Structure formats: structure tokens, C-alpha cells
Amino acid sequence: MSDPVQFYFDFSSPYSYFAAQKIDRTIEACGREVRWKPFLLGVLFKITGSQPLNTVPMKGDYCVHDWQRLGKMTNTPWSMPETFPISTQAAGRAFYWLDDQDPALAKTFALAAYDTYFGKGVSIMAPSKVVDIAASVGADGDALTEALKDAAVKQRLKDETAAAIDAGVFGAPFFIVDGEGFWGSDRMWMIKRWLQGRSA
Amino acid sequence: MSDPVQFYFDFSSPYSYFAAQKIDRTIEACGREVRWKPFLLGVLFKITGSQPLNTVPMKGDYCVHDWQRLGKMTNTPWSMPETFPISTQAAGRAFYWLDDQDPALAKTFALAAYDTYFGKGVSIMAPSKVVDIAASVGADGDALTEALKDAAVKQRLKDETAAAIDAGVFGAPFFIVDGEGFWGSDRMWMIKRWLQGRSA
């Protein structure tokens, strides 16, 4: 069995939200599994000198419009959040805590968190909100509330972010397939061709 | 007859080079024409605070690899030029001078210039090189040599660059379809869907 495809994302990245809707279906159709890896985009932005897309002159207006257009074109719910971008520490910490217990539940939580933030436009920055979302998909809310204060849980997300950067991730969404990196939600076609062995 | 689709590009933009290989075929299949509009990306970079892709930490290495990979995957000749990026004033000025006489010849010239720069890796910065390329596809080399020194020809490219920025172009390749902007060589699918009226 080959290694899973790595799907790196930040809970505050709109293009990652769109990628998340289809990544499992796309990759599983090629006979491979997907491992979801949230990380903190803000840490990377300090290295690459990037800014949140919506704050870049000209590009910002385009992206806000593009997200709405992508939602329509792909039949994906879209509501531009009033608070954007946000810190996603709580969601990232919750994800890895769940992932260690039940990877399928962690993905279900991630999709629910994305639906709350970008589908409904409601902030997921507060730990209490993250706990509510996790509980709504079947996680133990009380245990998660405690876990989010745990130093080891906090460190885990830091370590995962550092590991992503070490692996060459410089934006989100980012995919690593057998060591080969692909950046952006528009690159599904290339990942599929790579998996199908049509390029050396 | 609807207005042509506007294809904004810089002769030093690798992703524009890849887009140029397929843009006419893609858009004409949707029953529309394409108008090619070279401009100076460097002028835009000053506004958006962008840098040439290959100089951005982490992203730079990725892009250099991605261009080679795209070349293989799309069967498009690719040689990373030793001198990159370059100023493309001469090529842009030559393009509009040719375009006013014969738009089809201007496109043929643009593809030949791209093939020299990214297909063969040979710089097209020097006016004499641009004249050689234009002459090789049937243009009047002596007349072009004179035209490249003409103040009005120089001003034309400045005006076209300013007009692109006014139209909302902030990167390359960029496409404007009936006022709707699309950024990036990976967005052909979206432009096709837009033209086919599948989204409001």
C-alpha cells in the first residue's frame, strides 16, 4: 500500500475549503487514501512575506469575488465571513486530538468546521465554538474542552506546522504525493495525472 | 458578435507561455475570438508589492520545478532561461506594432517569441533579437527596427499597460470575458463554463 496523499490546509483558507469538498473523492478514485494535515498559514506567511489574499491590492477584490463565483460554479455553500482571516489554533488543535482517536471523525469535524466558517460565515476562532462543532458530529465536548488547554495538544499543532514547512509547504491548499508537491485547489487535474503515472 | 476575450500576458511570464499554447483553441471552441494584450508585469508588481515568482522563498523553487513539470505534462517545450525574468519592452512594442497591421501575424510572432524564450531558453530582451524573430515569421525587419525607436510605439505599450491595470489586471496570465476577470493558466475550465452560461 502506498503512502497516503498529504492534504495540507488552514481552516481560514478559502481555497482549502473548496479543495476539502472534493479531495477525498478525487484521490480515492485513483486508489489512494488522503491524510488531512491542518497547519497555521500565518507562520508560513512570515517566512514567505505573504499577506492574506483579501488584503493584497487588486488581488484582494478579485479573490473575494472569485470565492463567491467558485461557490456558485461548484454548488458549494459560500458566505464571506465578516471576520476574516482568523486564527485557527483551536480548530487545528481539535483536529489532531480527534485524528489520534478517529481519523474519519477528524475529517467529519473539519468539514463541519469549514461549513460553519465559509458555508455559513460564522467565526470558528473561539475554542467554545470549535467544541460545539466537534460535539455536533459526535466528539466528547467536555474532554475536548480540557484537551484544548493541554500543553501537549498545543505543541502538536506547532510541530505539525513546522513539519509542513520542512516538507516544502508554502501555501494552502498544498498536496504532497510521494514527495511531489502540488499547490492550489486548481491542481487536482495534475495530481490525478501524476497518480495515474502519465508523467515521470 | 460578442466582444473578444481579452488575454493579458507578459512575454516573461511562464504561466502565460503555457496559457498561450491553448487559449485560442479553447476560446474559439466556445464560439468566441481572443484578443492578445501583452503588458509589463513589472509595472503591476510595483502596485501589488509582488516579486518575480522564482525569487519568493520556497515558492520560487516550487515554481521552477512546476514549469518543467507542466512542460512535460502538456507536451510543451520548456527550457528554463538563464536570464529570468527579463524586461519585455521590445517584444511588447513589436507586438502592438504588428497587431495594428495584422493581428494574426502578431499572434504568430508572440508564439515564436515565447518559443525562443521559454521553449529554447534564449533571451528575447534585445530589440535585435525581437526583430529577428519577427522577420522569421514574415514581418518587415527593417521597418520594425525603426518602429522600436519610435516614441509613439513606446507610448503605446505604456498605455496598454495602464489600461490593463485600469481594467483590474493584477497578474499574468489574466483573462477578461465580458467584464469578468479570471486569473491564472489553471482557470481555463472556469472560463469555458462562464462562456457556456452555466453560471450567472
Contact assignment for B57 to A69 by CB distance below 8 Å: no
pLDDT digits (tens, 9 = 90+) for A97-151: 999 999 999 999 999 999 999 999 999 999 999 999 999 999 999 999 999 999 9
Identify the residue among B51, B73, B165, B166 best suited for mutation to test binding to A, counting A beta carbons within 10 A and taking the highest.
B73
pLDDT of res. B44: 87
Mean pLDDT of chain B: 94
Query: ipTM of the assembly?
Result: 0.91
Which pLDDT tens digit goes with each residue over A54-81?
888 888 999 999 999 999 999 999 999 9
What cell numbers appear for A10 in the block?
Answer: 488552514
Per-residue pLDDT, averaged over A1-13, amounts to 93
Which 170-189 residues of chain B touch chain A by CB within 8 A? 170-171, 181, 183-184, 186-187
The mean pLDDT value for A179-197 works out to 93
The pLDDT of residue A1: 59
Tally Cβ neighbours within 10 Å of residue B161. Answer: 22
pLDDT of residue A92 exceeding 80, the answer is yes
For the cut 60, the answer to whether the pLDDT of residue B199 exceeds it is no
Q: What is the mean pLDDT of residues B79-84?
A: 96
- The answer to whether B22 faces chain A, any CB pair under 8 Å, is no
Nearest CA in chain B to A188: B186
The verdict on a CB contact (< 8 Å) between B58 and A72 is no
- pLDDT-derived band at B1 (thresholds 50, 70, 90) equals low
Q: pLDDT at position A2, please?
A: 81
H/E stretch holding A34 reads strand A34-38
Strand (E) or helix (H) holding B179: none
Is 80 exceeded by the pLDDT of residue B174?
yes
**Which has the minimum average pLDDT: A43-52, A180-189, B82-91?**
A43-52
User: Does residue A199 have a pLDDT over 60?
Assistant: no
Helical H runs in chain B?
14-20, 23-28, 41-48, 59-73, 89-101, 103-114, 127-136, 141-147, 151-166, 188-195
Using CA atoms, how far apart are residues B15 and B78, in angstroms rounded to an integer? 11
